[in-house]
Amino acid sequence: MRTTPLELLAGREARLCRRANHYCRRRRVRRLFSVISRLGDGVFWYVLMGALVLLDGFDGLRASVHMAATGLAALLLYKGLKRWTRRPRPYAADLRIRAWVAPLDEFSFPSGHTLHAVSFTIVALAYYPWLAPLLVPFTFGVALSRVVLGLHYPSDVLAATGIAILLASASLAWLPLPV
């Protein structure tokens, strides 16, 4: 029986997950990605929004409200997609993959951490481009952590990135920056 292109892709993705997950056997790697993932739960973004308000007053409040509104839309979107797709997490589908931290919910697609990180970053950078050296590496770390920790497939992270770009772009078009 022939293997379909989709099955080939799924097999490659599973191998990539196993390879990435293997790095967490090193305690320092596991700690680093666990901390990044935990900060990506929301702590980092809430602190950033609070700091923007404290440091930039009303303009910081405007940016923070915009980020929060985009985050709420991302939350509703990703929860609906997870319920609809019901894709098992890598560690649930392949016993060779270990979940190095507890997941926030049951399903894999899309990565909510990545969806929020990318959408928050795009909106924040529209207001404060000088934050790029902080936000871009952190967002990349959040996305990578989800695969390395065994919680998401690379396609979950890539799809979440695409959805976040569309969502943040729509948000910026709907709520344009002040002139």
What's the confidence (pLDDT) of residue 179?
Answer: 65
Distance CA(123)–CA(82), nearest Å, equals 24
Q: For residue 140, which of 66, 36, 63 has the smallest C-alpha distance?
A: 36
Q: What is the rounded average pLDDT for all residues in the chain? A: 93
What's the confidence (pLDDT) of residue 67?
Answer: 97
Domain ranges of the chain: 27-174
| pTM confidence score | 0.91
φ, ψ dihedrals at 88, nearest 5°: -65, 150
What's the confidence (pLDDT) of residue 173?
Answer: 93
**Burial label, 164 (beta-carbon count in 10 A; 0-12, 13-18, 19+):** buried
Please name the residues in contact with 20: beta carbons below 8 A apart, sequence gap of 6 or more: 147, 148
Please name the residues in contact with 90: beta carbons below 8 A apart, sequence gap of 6 or more: 14, 17, 21, 97, 108, 150, 151, 152, 153
Regions in the chain scoring below 50 on pLDDT: none
45, β-bridge pairs = none
